[in-house]
Amino acid sequence: MIRKMALAVLFVALGTVSALAADISGKWTADIAGRQGTPTTTTFTFAVSGATVTGKITTPRGDTDISDGKIAGDTLTFSTSMSMNGNTMTQTYTGKIDGDTIKFSRAMGDRPATEFTATKVK
């Protein structure tokens, strides 16, 4: 009996954590500075299922799928991978959600992180 009650409490607690995660589903845009400092408009399209986030990033170069997407409360994390000249590079994104904005930090290898803000498309 105690086991059943403990399991019930666990399921309720896990459901509550998922319910507290921000809903970021939809399109978001950001102007992200490139190597020469010229901003590039980037579109993020997110789909959320529980604590799992899927979607893609669209730039003038095309679409890139996101992987390892997770959301916990107001924190969003995911990564992207791209291949250039036979080398695979992974970028990791960490975002802090605040209503209709997400303040991101994007890191790749030992390069300095890039900071930018994405805004929800209405």
pTM for this predicted structure: 0.79
Instruction: Give pLDDT, residue 116.
Output: 96
Q: Which mean pLDDT values do the consecutive 10-residue runs of the chain (122 residues) have?
A: 53 47 92 86 97 96 96 97 88 97 94 94 92
Instruction: Give pLDDT, residue 7.
Output: 47
| Cβ-Cβ contacts under 8 Å for 40 (sequence gap 6 or more) | 31, 32, 33, 34, 59, 60
- Tokens 């893609």 correspond to 56
- Tokens 């105690």 correspond to 2
Instruction: Give pLDDT, residue 101.
Output: 97
For residue 53, give Cα distances in angstroms to 1, 8, 41, 61, 66: 36, 26, 21, 23, 8
- Tokens 């789909």 correspond to 47
Instruction: Give pLDDT, residue 30.
Output: 97
Gap between the Cα atoms of 96 and 102, Å rounded:
5
CATH for 22-120 (2.40.128.120, 2.60.120.10, 3.30.70.580, 3.40.50.10320)? 2.40.128.120
Instruction: Give pLDDT, residue 84.
Output: 82
Q: Where are the domains of the chain?
A: 22-120
